[in-house]
Amino acid sequence: MEPNKLNSNIQSLKCPNCSAPIKLDSNTCDFCGYDYIIPNLSGLIGFKPTTINKYIAFYKNQLNDKPNDPLVNLALGICYLDLGLSEFAQKYIKKAIDITPENSDTYYYYAMSLLKGEKIKLAKISEIKEVEKFLEAAIKLYPSKYVYYYFQIIIKYEFYHRNGFKIEPSIESLREKLDPLVKDENEIKQLIKQLNVDEENARNIIS
């Protein structure tokens, strides 16, 4: 993936967080230190809904000029995901997948959006299979990302284990894959939040 870049014809735009003038040669505001284009959910930690809505307006403005920008579509989808607006999140994240199918995170966030923040145990088997399909695509593209396997483990436990279904691959085998990988604590916190699971239980699953 190319580094995050802003459209070259948006000189009049301001930082969605602090309203300082945007610098086109950077993705980070010199005044507040926040990114213009949010690359992942952990980038929204600490943001109030009012601030996220400013980012949404900012991204929609960009998409008016460049509707097929994959980074902006993904960032917009991530903002909607954080606000719990799953259908809007799916729309923009799916578009990012269609534009750049090699970006593993788009599949990861799309899988997350399909659960709609509802209890995993109560989902339909067809819904879980669809979630797993996109999550497995993310893993195939980037097989060394800790949070992808953590997501898999939560699905196996919350849906298959709690409903008494056979678990393949086993939770134990997935835990083994976590051991050599780098853990991003912020992404884990956001994953647990989005999947609407008890944090203590989610952490005990991998201990």
Query: Which tens digits make up the pLDDT trace of 15-71?
Result: 777 777 766 555 676 657 666 788 899 999 998 999 999 999 989 988 998 999 999
Domain count, the chain: 2
Domain span at residue 205 reads 116-207
pLDDT in tens, 83-124: 999 999 999 999 999 999 999 999 999 999 999 999 999 999
**Neighbour-count burial of 193, counting CB atoms closer than 10 A to its CB (0-12 exposed, 13-18 middle, 19+ buried):** middle
Tell which of 75, 101, 127 closes a domain.
Answer: 101
Dist CA 126 CA 96 (whole Å): 23
Q: Phi first, then psi: what are they for 21, rounded to 5°?
A: -60, 140
Paired tokens of 178: 């976590």
- 60 and 147 in one domain? no
